[in-house]
A and B are shown apart, each in its own frame.
Chain A
Amino acid sequence: MNVRTVSELDALMARLAEGDRVAFTRVFELLWGPIQKLCLSLLRNEADAADAGQEAMHKILERASDFDKTRPAMPWALAIAGWECRTLARRRERRRESHTDAIPSCAGPHAEEEFLQRDLTTAAMAALGELSELDREVLIATFWDEAASVSGATLRKRRERALDRLRKTFRRLYGLD
C-alpha cells in the first residue's frame, strides 16, 4: 500500500466517521485486501482467514463512527483484524481440545453411526471439491437456503445438473450413490 493510498484511506475513514456514506465502498475496498492478507498470514488457513476477515470488517465498520481522525486508519483497522484472528484461533483451539476430550465418551451404541456419518460428510465434501465453481455455488446455496446469483427455472436446471455431476463424481470416487 503506497503513501497516496494510505492518506486516501485516512481521509475517507474520517469522512465515514462523520457519516459520509459516499466513502463507504472505497473504504471497504481499501481495507479488505490488507485484512485478508494479515488474517491469512496469522491463521495459515484460507477458510479461517476468510471468517476472521469478515468478522474484522464488521467490527471495523461498526466502530467507524468512533474513529479518531488524528490517528492513521490502517494500523487501527489491522489491530482490530489481528485481535479478531487471535480470538478465532483461540476459539478453534479450545473447540479442538474439547473435541479430543469428548472422543472417549462417544464410545457408546451411537459411536459407530457418528463415525460413519462423519466419513460420509468428508466424502461428500471431497466430491463437492471436484465440481466446478458454478456447481459448488448452486449446491451450497441450495444447502444453506441462500439466494443464488440466478433464480427460477435457470436455478432449477443448474441445480439438477450440479446434483447429477455430484452423483457421478461420488460414484467414480467411492463406487456408490
Chain B
Amino acid sequence: MTQTLERATTPDDPQGPRPRIRSKLVPRRRALAPYLLILPALTALAVVLLWPIVQMVWMSLHDYGLRQLQGQEAEWNGFAHYTAVLTDARFWEIFRNTIGVCLAMVVVTMVLGTLVGILLNKLPNWASTILGLGLMLAWATPVISAAIVYRWLFDTRYGLFNTIMSGLPDWLVGSGWEEFNWFNSPSTLFPILIVTVVWQSFPFVAISVLAGLKSIPGELYEAARMDGAGAWKSFWNVTAPMLRPLFALLLILQVIWDFRIFTQLFILAGGVTNREVALLPVYIYQLGFASTPPNYGMGSAIAVIMTVLVLAITAYYLRVMIRQGETR
C-alpha cells in the first residue's frame, strides 16, 4: 500500500498515466488471489469429474465401441441409444427393480434408524454407550467386507442361515432350506442385498437422530405434558416438527447412497455377468464393459438417464444446501 502511494506521488515519472494503472493493479491482484486458491482444486474437478460428464453425454449420442476407443471416428447416431433403451423391456424391469429396491432400503433404514435413535435416547447412559459402540462396528465395516460376510451367512451349502432354518420345525419355516440358493434370482437376492445395505446404513441414521433428539430443549416436552399430551402426541407435536429438516437431509442422503449400490451387488451376485440380477449401476457396467463387444455409447445413455434421475431426486436437497451456502 505504502509503496503504491509513494510511486503515485513521484513527480518525475516519465509516463503520466502509470500511477493510475498501478493503483488499479492493487485491487486486481487481490481479486486474483481467490482464483489462484481455488484453481488447483478446480482443475482436478474439471479433468476428473466435469469433463467426463460432458464426455458421457457426447458418447451417449454417438456409436462408441472398441474401434472408437482405438481412435476411429465416432459416428453421430442421434438419439438411437435412448430410443433403444426406453423401448427395451429389460431396461424398464431393471428400472423398476432399482426404484423398488432403493425405496425398500431407504424406508427400512429410516424407520429402523429412527426407532433405534429413540431407543438410544431412552436407555440409561451405560447401555446407550454399549449399543452405540455396537452400531459403530456395523457402520465402520468396509462395504466389501459387509457384502462378503452376508454372502457367507447365506451361503447355499455351509451358510449359517440355511442351517438354522433347516434346524427349525417345518411347520414354522417350511422345508427345503438345506441347499437353498439365494443368489440366482432377483426375488431372493434383492432381499439379502436390502438387509446388507440396511445393516450398514441404519447406524448413521440412529446416531444422527440421537444427536437431533438431544438438541431439543426439555422444556418443550414439559410444556406438552402440562397440556396433557401423552408420549405419542408429544412425539408428533414436538419431536417430528423439530427434526423435520434433519429427516429431510437423512432421507436424501440415503436415496443418493442407495441409488448407486454397486459393490454389494457385485459380490452377492458373483460379478457383473449375471444378467438376471442387475440394478442400474451394474446394468451400466454390463452394457459398457461386460458386453461383447463393449458398447460404451449404450452404457453412457443409461448413465445419463441415471444421473438425471439422481439430480432430479436431489434437487430439493440441493436447493436447501444452496440456500444455506449463500447465507453464510
The answer to whether A and B assemble together is: no
Q: Which residues of chain A have a CB within 8 Å of any CB of chain B?
A: none
Q: Which residues of chain B have a CB within 8 Å of any CB of chain A?
A: none
